[in-house]
Amino acid sequence: MPQKARELYRSSNGDRWSLVHDYDSGLVFVRHEPNLSSGGRPSDISVGDFLVRNGRGPEHTELLRLIGTLVETPVAN
């Protein structure tokens, strides 16, 4: 399945969060990839659930900032 991902945040311990668009399904979601030493597997979560669950970390802040750029008014020259 073709996907495009944009990294949102990488923690100091190596965990990564990315915003992913799956072209086949049309879904957009957040993928958490735990660091290798934790032995965890990547997990996908809907954008809404991601923001509702413990939504105060830097990865949440970055997603909200990115969403905000979609509605910014361009500065006229």
Residuewise pLDDT in 10s, the chain (77 residues): 699 999 999 999 999 999 999 999 999 999 999 998 887 899 999 999 999 987 789 999 999 999 888 887 777 76
This prediction has a pTM of 0.82
Is the CB of residue 59 less than 8 Å from the CB of residue 8? yes
